[in-house]
Each structure stands twice: as C-alpha cells, then as structure tokens.
C-alpha cells in the first residue's frame, strides 16, 4: 500500500508540473497549431516516471494502440541521450565538456502520430511539450524560441528529472517499448537494470538560469520547488 501511495503522489505531482508548464507557455506567441507535427520525430526523450504516468492515465485500449503503433513502426535509429539535463548541468559546474550525441530528424516521425495529430496528446511527456516555435517551422525550416522560453523549458526539464531522481532517462520510444514488456518495478517505473541505452536521472545540482532571467523565473522556480517539497513530505 505504501508503494502505491508513493506512486500516486509522484504522478500527481508530475501532472501538476505539466499544468504549470502549459500555463507558463501561454505568455509566448507560439505559432504551433493542430496537425503541426514537424517537431514530432522519433527522437523525443522522457523519464521513466513519465512513461509510468502515461500507463496510469490511459486505458487498456489506448495502451494496446501504442503497442501496435510501436510494433508497426519497427524503428531502430533513435536519439539515445548520453546524459540527462541535470547531468549536463553537473558537467558544466565541474568544467567538463558535454558528451557528443547523435540526433537526426531524418530518422523518422513519431509512430504515435495519426494524420499529424498526437494520439496521446494530453499525457505526452515534457520532451514533446517543449517543442515549440514562434514561427511556422515549415516556412522557415527551423524552430524559433525566445531565449526566456528556452530557459523556462530547461528549468522544467530539470525539475521533472529531479522528481524521478534515481530513475531512468532515455528515448521515449525505447522506454515505451520496455514498459509494454512489463519491465517495471513495484512503483510502476521502469528499472535501470531492465533497459539498455538509458541513463540515470539526477537531482538538480544547479539551475541553468542566466542572470538576466533570474527575476523573471523566480515565481516559477518557487512554485516548482514547493511541488517537489510537498511530494517529498508525503513520501516520508
């Protein structure tokens, strides 16, 4: 029962973080619209917690549809990160170079798309939510994001990872496939010993906020910190 309660607390906290992120992004004039799926490639990343959240929030029919789509796609080339967002922050603090990673959009689109529409949109991971542009990507050939918006998305990535510290981080599709094979621990999260090509989530070593954005992000950071502390208090 304690394990179940802990799981429910953490996925509810994740949902609150998603809601806060969606609200924060309304401050920017993004051009993204329905069926604008140029950023929806097979290279999205996620935490194990986010996979567990998807499994918890979707019904059996939706989960079966995910498995069918993954099997049908048969993709093998995907972006597989060598370090997490907080791992990158730690490397910067220690003066180490970031690991070189291979990522190519031509490897393919996300198999969870249907006619350019995400089939799991309400429960999509943060790695999908942060894909935004103030101009239509198809017109410019690239995404445009204000510097402040980039800072905010990075901070949210750090807090979501912190919430799942000790858990796993990797290819969204890899984690989905392994979750479909029931490679889960008692708390519903994928175990790091069950999946190859993943890395371990870390707690926040330092927030990656440039000096000019400290005041502009202070309220968001305080709200995120409060959510994390409440989750930790409930887990005790």
* Over residues 201-228, mean pLDDT: 97
Name residues whose C-beta falls within 8 Å of residue 64's C-beta, 6 or more positions apart in sequence: none
Structure tokens given for 2:
């304690």
Tell me: the pLDDT tens digits for 48-77? 999 999 999 999 999 999 999 999 887 778
Q: What is the pLDDT of residue 132?
A: 86
What's the CA gap between 175 and 45, in Å, rounded?
9
Is the whole model's pTM more than 0.75, yes or no?
yes
pLDDT on residue 236? 72
Q: Do 80 and 197 touch, CB atoms closer than 8 A?
A: yes
How many Å apart are CA 192 and CA 10, to the nearest integer? 18
Of the listed ranges 28-37, 183-192, 201-210, the one predicted with least confidence: 183-192
Q: How confident is the model at residue 40 (pLDDT cuts 50, 70, 90)?
A: confident
Asked whether the predicted pLDDT for residue 190 surpasses 60, the reply is: no
More confident residue, 34 or 150: 150
* pLDDT of 202 above 50: yes
Is the pLDDT score of 188 beyond 50?
Answer: no
Spatial CA neighbour of 185 closest among 4, 37, 31, 30: 4
Nearest-angstrom CA–CA distance, 217 and 20: 13
Q: Confidence class of residue 185 from pLDDT cuts 50, 70 and 90?
A: very low
Task: Supply the pLDDT for residue 191.
Answer: 53
The residue ranges of every structural domain in the chain are 2-235
| pLDDT above 80: residue 183 | no
Q: Are 170 and 199 in contact (CB under 8 A)?
A: yes
Output the pLDDT for position 77.
82
Q: How large a percentage of the chain has pLDDT more than 70?
A: 92
Is residue 182 very low, low, confident or very high in pLDDT (cuts 50, 70, 90)? very low
Q: What is the pLDDT of residue 113?
A: 94
User: HSE-up of 182 (CA within 13 Å, CB side)?
Assistant: 0
């Amino acid at each position: 029962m304690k394990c179940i309660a802990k799981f429910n607390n953490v996925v509810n906290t994740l949902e609150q973080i998603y809601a806060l992120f969606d609200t924060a992004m309304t401050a920017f004039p993004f051009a993204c619209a329905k069926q604008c799926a140029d950023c929806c490639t097979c290279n999205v990343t996620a935490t194990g917690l986010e996979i567990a959240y998807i499994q918890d929030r979707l019904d059996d029919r939706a989960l079966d549809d995910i498995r069918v789509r993954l099997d049908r796609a048969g993709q093998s080339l995907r972006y597989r990160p060598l370090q997490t967002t907080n791992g990158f922050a730690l490397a910067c603090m220690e003066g180490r170079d970031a690991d070189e990673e291979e990522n190519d959009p031509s490897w393919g689109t996300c198999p969870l798309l249907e006619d350019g529409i995400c089939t799991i949109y309400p429960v999509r991971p943060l790695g999908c939510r942060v894909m935004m542009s103030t101009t239509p990507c198809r017109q410019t050939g690239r995404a445009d994001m204000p510097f402040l918006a980039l800072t905010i998305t990075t901070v949210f990535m750090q807090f979501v990872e912190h919430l799942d510290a000790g858990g796993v981080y990797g290819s969204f599709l890899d984690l989905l496939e392994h979750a479909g094979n029931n490679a889960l621990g008692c708390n519903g999260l994928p175990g790091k010993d069950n999946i190859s090509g993943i890395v371990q989530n870390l707690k926040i070593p330092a927030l990656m906020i440039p000096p000019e954005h400290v005041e502009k992000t202070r309220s968001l950071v305080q709200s995120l910190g409060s959510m994390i502390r409440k989750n930790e208090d409930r887990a005790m």
